[in-house]
Amino acid sequence: MDLLNTLVDKGLRRELPTRDEALAVLATSDDELLDVVAAAGKVRRQWFGRRVKLNYLVNLKSGLCPEDCSYCSQRLGSKAEILKYTWLKPDEARKAAAAGVAGGAKRVCLVASGRGPTDRDVDRVSQTIEAIKEQHEGVEVCACLGLLSEGQADRLRSAGADAYNHNLNTSEGTYGDITTTHTYADRVDTVQQAQAAGLSACSGLIAGMGETDADLVDVVFSLRALDPDSVPVNFLIPMEGTPLAKDWHLTPQRCLRILAMVRFVCPDVEVRLAGGREVHLRSMQPLALNLVNSIFLGDYLTSEGQSGQTDLDMIADAGFEVEGADTTTLPGHRVPAATGCGSHGGDAPDAHGAGGCGSHGGGCGPCGEDTGTASVAEPSEPLTARTDLVAVRRRGAGTDLAPNA
């Protein structure tokens, strides 16, 4: 297939595909799917071998968010029956993080709901970072607190944070349809503030919100231009009690094509399979390891993931290996600059009301064609909430039960 040969060659050279080439990946048929995965897998192995980086989420503050992000179970007006609690104390967060590190996580992602942190909140998180680093000197810590104000990224960096996450989530053209309480430009500004402070930037997307192929390509090309070190790909978890609870647009095949497209556009970046993988990829999760080089271990912010041991078994059974703490994740040409998706180069999830990495989280037309609407298959029955596929997190941080790690 000439398209795939071209994309592999470009990926090995870190060259940007054309928009038409990216759209064509999303438009491939199910008969071509394994060829697409194999091609993107060559690019993945060139830059990351068969290593899989493990990341662990700690939800420092759950629910109670004033933002109206339609995908989010912690949003303003959400009726989702999630855990709601205010800030964990540093020692509580440290204990939660220790479970993930014991399970093999190389990075701990500290997430808090809300529009953005106050200076007092930054002090709290700084104390938590210091507590974690004191116990686990080599662990990476990523903060994900929403929109940053001037100077806050520098303070987090000084406290020992390695990375900051803030997702773009969807294309600039459709962002206002998903969130009205902040803008796409606000998100871009926060990622750039993190980069300017020397933090490794992480920014990704949520697929499955009714977007078109053109929207998906737009946001991934925007991410490449923004140049984060890691790109988490979330698949919408339609949580009961949220506006998108009935938006079940994804199939496992669709998810794999999206991951392949992201890999071709951002060949040498940490592509992380984030929220929604168990819900939408299901039994095809191991195949996705040929496309991504990073996953979250165990549970997410407000929903449960599969068991941590199942994650580890899946990695081993698929012929991959867990990345060790003494291994640098990014290729050598990206490490000195520590900034980037595309041609140079660190890595990191995102807070609700400002992001949402690992928290929950369409359409095909002919090559290069914008169909204007998501061309997903018409369901045979009316779409309804799928509580059988989505379990609310009731263990770990904010509870008295042991975490899943």
Size of the chain, expressed as the number of residues it contains? 405
- Is 65 catalytic? The answer is yes
Distance CA 186, CA 25 (A): 30
- Is 144 catalytic? The answer is no
Catalytic residue selected from 44, 124, 254, 272? 272
Distance CA 215, CA 206 (A): 11
Catalytic residue selected from 109, 144, 266, 357? 109
Q: Residue 298: left (phi > 0), alpha (psi -120 to 50), or beta?
A: left
b/e map of 374-404 (b: 16 or more CB within 10 Å)?
bebeeeeeeeebeeeebebbeebbbeeeebb
- The tokens describing 337, both together, are 């600059």
- Is 394 catalytic? The answer is no
Any idea what DSSP says for residue 303?
Answer: B
Integer angstrom CA distances of residue 115 from 120, 148, 166, 190: 14, 9, 11, 12
- Is 69 catalytic? The answer is yes
Distance CA 64, CA 85 (A): 8
Contact 296/56 with Cβ under 8 angstroms? yes
Catalytic residue selected from 75, 94, 107, 142? 142
- Is 142 catalytic? The answer is yes
Catalytic residue selected from 94, 187, 202, 357? 202
- The tokens describing 217, both together, are 């390509």
Distance CA 283, CA 52 (A): 18
Catalytic residue selected from 14, 44, 72, 254? 72
Catalytic residue selected from 44, 69, 255, 266? 69
**Sign for the pseudo-dihedral over CA of 17, 23, 26, 27:** negative
Pairing of strands 200-202, 163-165: parallel
Q: Which residues are annotated as catalytic?
A: 65, 69, 72, 109, 142, 202, 272
